[in-house]
């Protein structure tokens, strides 16, 4: 209850921002120095969340962001990208892509966050991660194999390359259409980040419609 109230109050920090016309570059969002390849179907608008499972701000963003994503039409393609800044960040990135490879990510994602921030579990080594994965219908052996697989390493390396390309130094962050960066600072609060992303999506639609 307290968490929800805090998010509602935080959302009051940027009143009236509901449309593309309200956006100010350098105030509500930044333009990335080099656009990212979005890898979406033609006509879709990519929205990517850069996050770390160990980040409390990322955890607090999950509720308003999930609510926002659930309301988006089919032309919005949402995906998550784990940040790679060494140490536990990289370990959790391996966990994310291993869960994706094993087909359990959708069921596991919120629980992984909850285990770290509500249960005090670090989940920062292969044994702990494999044991956690075993609650989702995969064996610990298969989990460890996925964590060390070539495919998962490749995904983590690609995420790291994208982090460097964006020159991203912190999370959470939302990247819209591979061009626009929204952070808690630029949006005014965590709860406002989806709102700003939505206004940017509207801006892109307007530009495409000419």
Span 12-31, pLDDT tens digits: 444 445 566 678 888 899 99
Residue 1 predicted with pLDDT over 50: no
Task: Measure the CA–CA gap between 186 and 72, rounded to whole angstroms.
Answer: 22
Global pTM reads: 0.89
Query: Would you place residue 2 in the very low, low, confident or very high pLDDT band (cuts 50, 70, 90)?
Result: very low
On the question of pLDDT at 148 being above 80, the answer is yes
What percent of the chain clears pLDDT 90, i.e. is strictly above it?
Answer: 77
Mean residue pLDDT of the chain comes to 90
Query: What integer pLDDT is reported at residue 41 of this predicted model?
Result: 84
Whether 33 shows a pLDDT value over 50: the answer reads yes
Residue 141 has pLDDT above 60, yes or no: yes
pLDDT tens sequence across 87-98: 999 999 999 999
Binned at pLDDT 50, 70 and 90, residue 154 comes out as very high
**Of 64-73, 76-85, 163-172, 192-201, minimum mean pLDDT range:** 163-172
pLDDT of residue 202: 93
């Amino acid at each position: 209850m307290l968490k929800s109230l805090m998010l509602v109050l935080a959302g009051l920090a940027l009143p009236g921002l509901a449309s593309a016309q309200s956006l100010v570059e350098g105030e509500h969002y930044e333009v990335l120095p080099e656009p990212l390849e979005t890898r979406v179907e033609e006509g879709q608008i990519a929205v990517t969340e850069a996050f770390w499972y160990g980040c409390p701000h990322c955890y607090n963003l999950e509720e308003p962001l999930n609510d926002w994503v659930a309301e988006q039409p089919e032309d919005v393609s949402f995906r998550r990208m784990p940040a790679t800044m060494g140490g536990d960040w990289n370990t959790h990135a391996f966990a994310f892509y291993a869960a994706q490879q094993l087909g359990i990510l959708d069921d596991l994602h919120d629980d992984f966050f909850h285990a770290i921030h509500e249960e005090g579990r670090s989940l920062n080594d292969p044994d702990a991660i494999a044991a956690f994965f075993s609650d989702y219908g995969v064996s610990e052996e298969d989990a460890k194999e996925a964590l060390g697989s070539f495919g998962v390493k490749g995904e983590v390396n690609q995420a790291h390359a994208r982090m460097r390309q964006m020159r991203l130094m912190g999370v959470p962050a939302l990247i819209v259409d591979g061009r626009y960066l929204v952070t808690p600072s630029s949006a005014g609060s965590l709860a406002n980040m989806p709102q700003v992303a939505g206004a940017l999506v509207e801006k892109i639609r307007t530009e495409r419609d000419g």
